[in-house]
Structure 1
């Protein structure tokens, strides 16, 4: 998979899914307080839906190959 085939939305979806899986495992193994990370990811996803930006999208938007694909769509 080349960098040009990745869109910002796909990267954000993969990042959110990975964080939810990691937090779930940590909640089962370490402490239920890790479920707060799942809530944080959910809030960030809703921010992206409602506003069009979330902290992760602002950071990942600076990655050169993701920024190029975002400019092409505009």
Structure 2
């Protein structure tokens, strides 16, 4: 069973890959989404604050080490 940490990393990785595909196919402005995800991961590593982790916790997903 996946815990919150695995869900967050899987979601972030998926968003990065999708935004790279969209930047390649449609417009390089989609790279801003990649930058946003990266910055959010960095700030979460320092602060422990992650909006997706909070939503998943409310949905009853098992906690992990980080969140």
1:29 CA drift (Å):
0.4
User: Structure 2: which 5+ runs fail to align?
Assistant: none
- RCO higher in structure (CA 8 A, sep ≥6): 2
Larger Rg, first or second structure (1 or 2): 1
| Alignment partner, residue 40 of structure 2 | 44
Matches within 5 A, 1:6-45: 6-45=2-41
Equivalent position SS for 1:70:
coil
Q: How many residues align?
A: 64
Which of the pair is proportionally richer in helix?
1
Structure 1, unaligned runs of 5 or more: none
The TM-score, its normalising length taken from structure 2, stands at 0.86
RMSD: 1.4
